[in-house]
Amino acid sequence: MISDELKQTEQELKKEVDSVKTKFMSMGKVKMALLALLAVCTALTFIFYNKLFGENNVFEIYNGDSKFVSDLCEIMPRLIRSVQIVTIALIVITVLLWSVKHVFRKTPRGITVGGLICSLIRWVTAIVLVIVVLAVWGVDTTAIIASAGVLTLVIGLGLQSLIADVVAGLFIIFENEFNVGDIITVDGFRGTVVSIGIRTTKLEQLGNIKILNNSAIHGVLNQTIMPSTVFSYVSISYSEDLSRVESIIKEHLPEIKIDGTVSDIVYDGVTELGASGVTVRFSTQCHESIIYDVQRALNAKIKTMFDQNGIEIPFNQIVVHAAEVAQKPAQIPAAAEEDVQKSEKESV
């Protein structure tokens, strides 16, 4: 039963992953085609460099009266240089991201660190690219770089929460508190870690995504570092002989096999003397991702074992005691008795 459920779940997940891969591959093909076109155009600009940027380039030949065409010819060299820079940056960042993803894809921690490095590469490339492009268009970037220290101080004072999120995210990565794919519980929410970014962490549960600021993550319970323990609590009737029940459990418990468990099923003994029965406990270990499947299968197997060996699982019982009240003859009130006597005298 559990095996069929796991196979069905794996097939559904595989279909979803394949559909996502297909979408990303189609988007990746368009991106690669566009990048290849830009690379070819950039290579042509270097081949015809003198004609495009030399003293007598093609854009200075125009001597017409149209101001729009004249202004367009004037800005074309800067525009072409900007496209060159952006194209080269895109090629370099694509190669770097591809290399990082393939180097750090072997383990969950590698995937987590690789995602963080990719985020840093994108942010640094974007900042450098903006400064270089502004320099091509004649903007004094020296003043921008010189004022970066003051600007950083102002931003730091105004965006303390953002800085706290970034620092907390770095500590989560480097202290290896949890990785992508781990199942964790934060503030009562249990979910699978989808991504760990510089500012936020995303958890997924039953198709719902919970986004947490890294600085707000406290008291994390990582449930995938070690195998999780599954418990099954079953009650037996007080009328049952406990020694007989335990001998049956000792004989038939090794016969129970459940897919996904990483340890034997163990009888832990009596845990509670309840109102209507004696509660006994069974336990085993499995991976956290299938803990509920294993728990359901364990409950079903224990119930079947008890039924086959005539062990009674009691219902809740309520015993009601009714007190016996002695019946006494009805008494006539004194006022009513006086009225009766008066009426008898008058009648006489």
Q: What is the pLDDT of residues 21-72, one digit of tens each?
A: 555 455 566 777 777 777 777 777 777 766 666 666 666 665 666 666 676 7
CA–CA dist 213, 166 (Å, integer):
9
- Reported pTM: 0.51
For residue 233, what pLDDT is reported? 93
Nearest to 61 by CA among 49, 47, 51: 51
Q: Domain range spanning residue 260? A: 228-308
CA–CA dist 128, 321 (Å, integer):
86
Strands (E), the chain: 183-186, 189-196, 200-205, 208-213, 221-222, 228-236, 266-273, 278-286
Tokens (6 digits) for 346: 């008058």
- Is residue 333 assigned to a domain? no
For residue 106, what pLDDT is reported? 66
Last residue of a domain, one of 197, 223, 249: 223
Tokens (6 digits) for 42: 């950039």
- Is residue 336 assigned to a domain? no
Q: Give the 3-state secondary structure of residue 176.
A: coil
For residue 299, what pLDDT is reported? 93
Q: Say yes or no: 235 and 287 in one domain.
A: yes
**Are 302 and 282 a contacting pair, CB within 8 Å?**
yes
For residue 2, what pLDDT is reported? 43
For residue 60, what pLDDT is reported? 65
Q: Say yes or no: 41 and 127 in one domain.
A: yes
For residue 282, what pLDDT is reported? 94
- Is residue 166 assigned to a domain? yes
pLDDT lower than 50: segments of the chain: 1-3, 5-6, 20, 24, 340, 348
- Is residue 246 assigned to a domain? yes
Q: Say yes or no: 26 and 119 in one domain.
A: yes
Tokens (6 digits) for 179: 């990785």
Q: Say yes or no: 83 and 21 in one domain.
A: yes
Q: Say yes or no: 90 and 161 in one domain.
A: no
For residue 81, what pLDDT is reported? 80
